[in-house]
Amino acid sequence: MKVLILAGGFAKRMWPLTENQAKALLPVAGKPVIEHILEKLEPVPAIGEVHVSTNRRFEDAFARWIAGVRTSKLLSLVVEPHDREEQKMGAIGGLKYFIDTCAVDEDLLVIAGDNLFEFDVNDLLKFGEKTSGPVVALYDIADVDKVRGRFGVAVVDEEGTIVAFEEKPAEPRSTLISAGIYLFERADLRLVHEYLGDAGNPDAPGFFIRWLTGKRAVKGFVFDGRWYDIGSFKLYADANAAFRRGTARWPGWRLRTHDVQ
């Protein structure tokens, strides 16, 4: 199994902090966000290769990080051919570029590069093996006001199948949000091309997930613990504060709280 960490965006909402610094390389308690993700992948034996997708603007910075980080995984960089916001491929466009460039023909775990999550990735893979088909990691914020207009929102049935998915709805039907972590089988990867060929939105992954639910049974893996989406100055500050005071410790720590503000 391969892993793709998506870090091809320009994070304009957090400029000037991220104007010349990739968001995934921002330090949280002295360590880049992406390194926290890599540490969650380290104890997963099924994962051998981890690819980081970025753009030409941040290519050198990620190359330096790869050269200096300690890991047992094979790390490589996939560089999308753009260096400005208006040229970016978008998350699904970047996924297609990776599939084509690296001739990917196996199961793939896709992780947004601005994620700090607590669950054991082995649990997600076991869930995927048991259910078969694509899986979306879901987090329950438990506050509809915090969901409204901000996240991809899923509705699941009693068997955990996603029966509806909306991207940043004004009136959310649930408080289960996509955490930006997706497990795809090799058959799902071919559908990426079909989706984009049907003029699907190449940017927000939620549009692809909604389309995919009409093609296959997509399951929701609902996890506990803390989750941070480094999508604003406040959330970035909250994550740093939690890690610095030692309240965000993993693996193995569980606490039912909701830190998304």
Q: What are the structure tokens assigned to 70, written together?
A: 């300690």
Considering only 159-163, 183-187, 223-227, which range has the smallest mean pLDDT?
223-227
- Per-residue pLDDT at 6: 92
List, in sequence order, the alpha helices (H) in the chain. Answer: 33-41, 59-68, 91-101, 121-131, 144-147, 186-197, 205-212, 233-244
Residue in the structure block whose two tokens are 């902090």:
17
User: What are the angstrom distances between the C-alpha of 221 and each of 25, 176, 177, 178?
Assistant: 27, 10, 11, 10
Check whether 144 has a pLDDT greater than 70.
yes
Q: Which domains does the chain have, with CATH numbers?
A: 2-244 (3.90.550.10)
- Per-residue pLDDT at 86: 64
160: left (phi over 0), alpha (psi -120 to 50) or beta: left
Q: Convert the pLDDT of each residue in 114-139 to its tens digit.
A: 988 889 999 999 999 998 889 999 99
Closest Cα to residue 13, out of 114, 143, 145?
A: 114
Question: How much of the chain exceeds pLDDT 90, in percent?
Answer: 54
Mean pLDDT, the chain, integer: 86
pTM over 0.75: yes
DSSP conformation class of 78: E
The mean per-residue pLDDT over the stretch 162-177 comes to 92
133: left (phi over 0), alpha (psi -120 to 50) or beta: left
Q: How confident is the model at residue 250 (pLDDT cuts 50, 70, 90)?
A: very low
CA dist 22 and 46 (Å) reads: 28
For residues 18 and 181, the model is more confident at: 181
Q: What are the structure tokens assigned to 261, written together?
A: 């503000």
- Name the percent of the chain in helix, strand, coil, to the closest 5: 35, 25, 40
For residues 203 and 38, the model is more confident at: 38
The mean per-residue pLDDT over the stretch 198-210 comes to 87
Which residues contact residue 27 at a Cβ distance below 8 angstroms, ignoring those fewer than 6 apart?
33, 240
